[in-house]
Amino acid sequence: MAVAVDFETFYSSDYSVSDMGIWRYVTDTRFDAYLVAVFGEGIEFVGHPKDFDWRRLHGKELVSHNASFDAFIFVHLTRIGVIPPDVGFRHWHCTANLSCYLGAPRALAHAAAQLLGMDVSKDLRKWMRGKQWADAVAEGRESELRQYALRDARACHDIWERNHARWPLHERELARLTMVFGWKGVRIDTKRVEEGIVALNRVMFEAVAQIPWAGGDDVAILSPKLLGEECRKAGIEPPSSLAEDSPECEEWENRHGSQYPWVSAMRTYRKANALLEKLKTMRSRTRPTDRCMGYELKYFGSHTGRWSGSSGFNIQNLPREEMFGVDLRACIVPRPGCKFVICDLSQIEPRILAWLCDDATLLDQISAGIPLYEAHARNTMGWKGGNLKKENPGLYALAKARVLGLGYGCGPDKFVVVAKNMGGIDLSLQEAKATVTAFRQSNRKIVALWNRLDADFKRSNGSTFEIELPSGRALSYFNVSSTGGWTAQTERGGRRVRIYGGKLTENLVQAVARDVFAEGLLRLADAGIDVAFHIHDEAVCEVPVDTDPSEIGRILTINPDWLPGCPLAAESVESGVYKK
DNA sequence: GTGTAGGGCGCG
DNA sequence: AAAGCGCGCCCTACAC
């Protein structure tokens, strides 16, 4: 039994949690929590937070949809004296996270539709945008608003009551850790951020100077249409794509690039702008009190279970290298007295794939210390020499591209691109075709896994296809259908996507790797090691400077009980800044 | 004005 | 028949 708590707070087009982050939103002078709805265990209240007897929640299990928002509001209202300081609730669960775990959408309206079959329209909340409680009163809609808030609290309560038994305790703990890691945030090197902003403004100024249509105020500098018009004025055809990996665009650049620097200026502008926006977000979200920036990760952000970045700042996709002389990762630093130990699980996905295929040869080689991609080259590419990475870096790169690309069904056309992007390898389509065929012939166990999953999937036509993962949780595909090709929904009620053996294999591997890493996170927490943030298979730990870094790798590579015989390895680096 | 789709590109 | 996968955020274009 739990009590649902749902706050309604003022927001507008230029004042919102999603743009500003929760800390700045709450500390802004415009902040106003004008309503709270509380529902469950015989409590039914809706009104101003100051009018609720918060002591009624003492000792209760609380639940909110997006608990990282409501619990933060609760803490803030306690700090400023609206809520008394002695309300001791037991846990504060999140039904948005629960919904994701169950394969339902995160947003309350859609989650309630899928999990409760209930229509929870958000129209009134949108209507409140930019309006204060007094505006609602003036327009005679306050009782409607109260009902709306209570209805949301009831939906949250019902989602919890009907489904929480299917959410394991260790997964709830992962969700809780995700919330508190994000609240705590990361320390920011504010000087480096400022310098980066100055440098990028200059880069963009110079790029704009090269773009003839960039004069006015509201001009779309990256507009393909405007580029097209400019090209036709000059009597040349515009490239149909500006992507870095477009051969057509590469040819255009070779032919026209020196005379017309437009494409290269647009690319520079695009990259520098994306970087600049990230720096500005960091600057605006850094708390002056402790020079730290809160961030948010979405627990179960992907259907395979991985976390995903969120809320206007994605901490999981910071560039690895410096760009335009700006090192974004280095803007994130340990707190005083601490260092980072950055630890990642080495080649976790191919190891899992080998384990799932029961490829004993490969597993034994890895256990014996042979590098994974070298072992692959020995087994299936005829490598007979010594250390492959040292003796033949080109072949090593190809082996890596084969393992990471071809293991999941990549075809020849795509493999040309994958080999180029991943290993800088130029392959003709003919060579790619031969490589794909040879790979599938010499990796029969992988192909057998594709085929087995594909057949199992098709047997689920008309219903839900579930793959039981070694950890005990399930990977689900809803409403399997064969109409117009085989499709399913990876999210309940979501868009249909094409499903096939290679994709199922990749999803399965990704899900198992996620569970391995998740167990590691729980063990780190048990050992009292702070994780500043994490990126799929990498934990950025923030520890006192005298901490032994090898302990962290040891903890992350303990085999879960459900993964016996899969050799795990980790690499750790100590650093005074975040880096790759 | 808002919402959405898609190109492009950052990450694992 | 064949198909790398999983994300989020920037921007533009376009429908309403």
Average pLDDT, chain A: 93
Find the mean pLDDT for residues A410-416.
90
Question: What is the Cα–Cα distance from A258 to A78, expressed in whole angstroms?
Answer: 63
Confidence of residue A418 (pLDDT cuts 50, 70, 90): confident
Return the pLDDT at A238.
86
CATH architecture for the domain at A3-184? 2-Layer Sandwich (3.30)
Cβ-based contacts with strand B at under 7 Å: A 13, 126, 241-246, 267, 270-271, 274, 309, 314, 316-321, 323, 344, 510, 535-538, 580
Global pTM?
0.96
Q: How far is CA A384 from the centre of its chain?
A: 40
**Which bases of strand B have any atom within 7 Å of the beta carbon of a protein residue?**
1-3, 7-12
pLDDT exceeds cutoff 80 at A149: yes
pLDDT tens, residue by residue, A286-308 = 999 999 999 999 999 999 999 99
Nearest protein residue to C9's C1' (by CA)? A312
pLDDT tens, residue by residue, A68-117 = 999 999 999 999 999 999 888 999 999 999 999 999 999 999 999 999 99
Which nucleotide lies closest to A243 by the C1' atom and the CA atom? B8
Instruction: Using alpha carbons, select from A576, A526, A577, A579 the residue that is nearest to residue A551.
Output: A526
Return the pLDDT at A231.
84
Domain borders along chain A are 3-184, 188-293, 350-466
Nearest protein residue to C10's C1' (by CA)? A274
Find the mean pLDDT for residues A165-171.
97
Q: What are phi and psi of A339, to 5 degrees?
A: -135, 165
Q: Two tokens at A306?
A: 């991985």
Residues contacting residue A144 through CB under 8 Å, at least 6 positions apart: A124
Q: Which residue has the tokens 């990256």?
A: A222
Which letter does DSSP use for residue A107 in this model?
A: S
A429's enclosing H/E stretch is helix A429-442
Which letter does DSSP use for residue A28 in this model?
A: S
Nearest protein residue to B12's C1' (by CA)? A536
The integer distance in angstroms from the CA atom of A343 to the C1' atom of C3 is 34
Confidence of residue A122 (pLDDT cuts 50, 70, 90): confident
Q: Do residues A228 and A260 lie in contact, with contact meaning Cβ atoms separated by under 8 Å?
A: no
Which nucleotide lies closest to A580 by the C1' atom and the CA atom? B11
Which nucleotide lies closest to A267 by the C1' atom and the CA atom? B8
The integer distance in angstroms from the CA atom of A344 to the C1' atom of B5 is 35
> To the nearest whole percent, how much of chain A has pLDDT over 90?
80
Type of residue at A556: L
Return the pLDDT at A236.
87
Which letter does DSSP use for residue A467 in this model?
A: E
pLDDT tens, residue by residue, A172-211 = 999 999 999 999 999 999 999 999 999 999 999 999 898 8
pLDDT tens, residue by residue, A18-46 = 889 999 999 999 999 999 999 999 999 99
pLDDT tens, residue by residue, A207-255 = 989 888 887 778 898 988 888 888 888 888 888 888 888 878 888 888 8
Nearest protein residue to C11's C1' (by CA)? A222
Which nucleotide lies closest to A307 by the C1' atom and the CA atom? C7
pLDDT tens, residue by residue, A340-366 = 999 999 999 999 999 999 999 999 999
The integer distance in angstroms from the CA atom of A323 to the C1' atom of B9 is 13
Return the pLDDT at A120.
84
The integer distance in angstroms from the CA atom of A370 to the C1' atom of B3 is 52
Q: Do residues A30 and A10 lie in contact, with contact meaning Cβ atoms separated by under 8 Å?
A: yes
- The DSSP bridge partners found for residue A573 are A342
Return the pLDDT at A245.
80
The integer distance in angstroms from the CA atom of A125 to the C1' atom of B2 is 14
Q: Do residues A327 and A580 lie in contact, with contact meaning Cβ atoms separated by under 8 Å?
A: no
Return the pLDDT at A534.
97
Which nucleotide lies closest to A348 by the C1' atom and the CA atom? B12
pLDDT tens, residue by residue, A313-326 = 999 999 999 999 99
**Which bases of strand C have any atom within 7 Å of the beta carbon of a protein residue?**
1-14
Confidence of residue A52 (pLDDT cuts 50, 70, 90): very high
Return the pLDDT at A256.
83
